[in-house]
Amino acid sequence: MPQRLVITGRSQEPRGRFVEELRRLRTERGLSLRDLAKEVGWDASLFSKMESGRTLGGPEVVQALDQFYGTPGLLVTLWELAVADPTQFREQYRRYMLLEAEAISLWHYAVSAPPGLLQTAGYAHEALAVGWIKGPELEQQVEARLGRRQLLDGDDPPLFRVILSEAVLRTSLRDERAWRGQLEHLAESAERQNITLQVLPFSAGPHGLMNTAVMFLRLPGGRTVAYSENDLRGELIEEDTSVELLQRRYDAMRDLALSPAESRKFILRMLEEVPCEPST
């Protein structure tokens, strides 16, 4: 097989290519970071972090840069590829992320934390920091986790069913504002057509997945795989018998959960218990 011809010499890695394009477009204009900040309206420190690869920024700032540089859709496309790139996740999660991106429907049981697909930036930041991730890696992992939320958007998103243990809603963040934002996001997500959210109350008693967070992925062709996880490790389960056993336990637990309507009311009651911000 002939060796692949490199045309541009630019990075073939999505995050690296995005960073290179940001720097190229700015330097070709002869702009400093401070000049760019004045023109586009964001802080120069954000552009510095984006051009060094410490952060990817958000869709709003990337769209503003596309408009400023006259590159309609180019930077947004590169940003989307960088956000969705599985190599930005830690190696043990990458195969799962590739399968998650292919899934046509997903079922999740959350033991103590909201599923990554429904986490806010505030929640992801505090939760990942507890795992001793720091500095640039922390920011990259937060962005990677938030980037997964794109899976549930778009014109034809997969169906997503999630059952939250009541423990998820009782384990609040230290930052009350961030916790309020997370609960609000869960309540809003419960109203989306492609998301079914249920709460499993403590009163349901013991069940077959008490200590196991698990995600089921239904893939094109009808095959279903499972992924179970705890604080130390995750395991991708593809053997049919094991997947079926977990599914039976999940179905039995779902029968104990509150209905979607009752579950949303439960979350709203939890939201009422979070202190409101003091007026200024």
Q: Are residue 169 and residue 46 in the same domain, yes or no?
A: no
Return per-residue pLDDT of the chain as tens, 280 residues. 444 444 455 656 777 888 888 999 999 999 999 999 999 988 888 888 788 776 777 778 888 999 999 998 888 888 877 766 655 555 556 677 778 888 899 999 999 999 989 999 999 989 888 866 777 778 877 877 787 777 888 778 899 999 999 999 999 999 999 999 999 999 999 999 999 999 999 999 999 998 889 999 998 888 999 999 876 677 889 999 999 999 999 999 999 999 999 999 999 999 998 887 654 4
Q: Are residue 93 and residue 177 in the same domain, yes or no?
A: yes
Two tokens, residue 210: 């008490």
Cα 214 off chain centre by: 16
Q: What is the CATH classification number for the domain harbouring 253?
A: 3.30.870
Range of the domain at 187: 89-116+156-273
Quote the pLDDT of residue 257: 97
Two tokens, residue 71: 């590159």
Q: Tell me if 141 is assigned to some domain.
A: no
Q: Are residue 199 and residue 231 in the same domain, yes or no?
A: yes
* CB-CB contact of 115 with 124 (8 Å): no
Q: Are residue 80 and residue 97 in the same domain, yes or no?
A: no
pTM for the whole thing? 0.68
Quote the pLDDT of residue 279: 44
Q: Are residue 179 and residue 55 in the same domain, yes or no?
A: no
* CB-CB contact of 254 with 163 (8 Å): yes
Q: Are residue 164 and residue 220 in the same domain, yes or no?
A: yes
Last residue of a domain, one of 84, 107, 125: 84
Q: What is the dihedral of CA 54, 87, 195, 189, to 10 degrees?
A: -10
Amino acid at the residue 22: L
Number of domains making up the chain: 2
